């Protein structure tokens, strides 16, 4: 690799980076994925379906590995398997999404199936590696277009179901009594997760999907009392982690997904500490007020 060093002038740094097609594609796809993961992730956390979403990405692993084996683009396998898995989980009902043992069993089986497909495939082991942990620096211009189109579909669909999905996620019984098709909304939600997972896998891989789809949204829900603010915070965190991760990885020889997961993890821990200190301080303040009376 050419020797490039960090110059403390962000503008020239970015200009240098974007001279390389692979960095440009990485930034484009990373940005799109971060926005989508931030939005869909908010609903994942709100509906307490993070384990189901995690499992869905493993179903996607089997799909991607199968696609590689049969010489098809992995994203096709990902989309097919995650959508199928998502619809199945949704049709089993809301409560099924919280059944961790059953979901975990399917998750393990799908991972096993993926391993079989990978071992049958006589090509490089790097294929498996990139599906599992992401390969954002290997994204082609074509991948960016696919990612963009998929995101557009997710955005439009989310805008259409936004209020009913929010209602069904927070207060399912009343939403149902008000005539909302809660089962259908569950299916739409799982399809959103499936497509979002499929495009996120390029960035962080199936094993680290939590870092983009769950952690930023979990932080957002701790900080925001309104869904709109929550979604915005979730997007900002996912974007921040992705951009910094890409930026740093340009200078350091370590994987991008490591940086992304580390950043969101640190933010999560910082949020927890901040909130604890805050509660402690306000408790103390209350204590003092009481004694002043």
Interface residue list for another protein (CB under 8 A): 48, 159-164, 166-167, 170-171, 173-180, 221-227
Cβ proximity to another protein: between 57 and 221 the closer is: 221
Helix axes 74-91, 100-120, angle to 10 degrees: 160
> How far, in Å, CA of 173 to CA of 167, rounded?
10
> How far, in Å, CA of 80 to CA of 63, rounded?
7
Q: How far is the CB of 175 from another protein (least distance, A)?
A: 6
> How far, in Å, CA of 53 to CA of 213, rounded?
8
Cβ proximity to another protein: between 73 and 176 the closer is: 176
Q: How far is the CB of 272 from another protein (least distance, A)?
A: 13
Q: How far is the CB of 176 from another protein (least distance, A)?
A: 7
Q: How far is the CB of 240 from another protein (least distance, A)?
A: 21
- Report yes or no: 136 and 201 within 8 Å, Cβ to Cβ: no
- Report yes or no: 82 and 194 within 8 Å, Cβ to Cβ: yes
Of 58, 44, 47, 62, nearest in space to 104 by CA: 58
- Report yes or no: 51 and 209 within 8 Å, Cβ to Cβ: no
Q: How far is the CB of 183 from another protein (least distance, A)?
A: 13
Cβ proximity to another protein: between 116 and 170 the closer is: 170
Cβ proximity to another protein: between 158 and 242 the closer is: 158
Cβ proximity to another protein: between 175 and 207 the closer is: 175
Contacts of 150 (CB under 8 A, 6+ apart): 36, 79, 195, 198, 199
221 Cα distance to chain centroid: 15
Exposed e or buried b for every residue in 75-98, given b needs 16+ CB within 10 A?
bbbbbbbbbebbbebbeeebeebe
Q: What are phi and psi of 73, to 5 degrees?
A: -60, 125
> How far, in Å, CA of 13 to CA of 48, rounded?
40
Q: How far is the CB of 263 from another protein (least distance, A)?
A: 22
Q: How far is the CB of 28 from another protein (least distance, A)?
A: 26
């Amino acid at each position: 690799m050419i020797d490039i060093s960090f110059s403390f002038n962000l503008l020239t740094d970015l200009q240098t980076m974007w001279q390389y097609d692979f960095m440009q594609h990485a930034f484009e796809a990373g940005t799109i994925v971060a926005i989508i993961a931030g939005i869909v992730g908010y609903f994942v956390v709100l509906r307490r379906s993070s384990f189901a979403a995690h499992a869905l990405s493993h179903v996607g692993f089997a799909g991607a590995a199968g696609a590689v084996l049969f010489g098809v683009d992995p994203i096709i396998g990902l989309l097919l398997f995650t959508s199928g898995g998502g619809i199945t989980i949704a049709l089993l009902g809301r409560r099924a999404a919280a059944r961790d043992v059953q979901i975990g069993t399917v998750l393990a089986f799908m991972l096993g199936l993926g391993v079989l497909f990978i071992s049958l495939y006589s090509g490089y082991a790097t294929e498996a590696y990139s599906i599992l942990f992401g390969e954002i620096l290997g994204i082609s211009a074509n991948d960016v277009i696919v990612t963009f189109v998929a995101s557009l579909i997710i955005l439009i669909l989310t805008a259409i179901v936004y209020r009913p999905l929010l209602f069904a996620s927070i207060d399912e019984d009343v939403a149902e009594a008000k005539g909302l098709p809660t089962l259908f909304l569950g299916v739409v939600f799982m399809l959103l997760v499936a497509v979002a997972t499929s495009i996120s896998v390029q960035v962080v891989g199936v094993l680290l999907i939590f870092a983009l789809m769950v952690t930023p949204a979990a932080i957002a829900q701790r900080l925001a009392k309104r869904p709109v603010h929550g979604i915005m915070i979730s997007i900002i965190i996912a974007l921040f982690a992705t951009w910094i991760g890409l930026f740093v990885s340009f200078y350091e020889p370590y994987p991008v997904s490591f940086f992304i997961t580390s950043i969101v993890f640190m933010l999560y821990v910082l949020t927890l500490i901040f909130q604890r200190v805050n509660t402690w301080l306000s408790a103390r303040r209350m204590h003092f007020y009481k004694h002043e009376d």
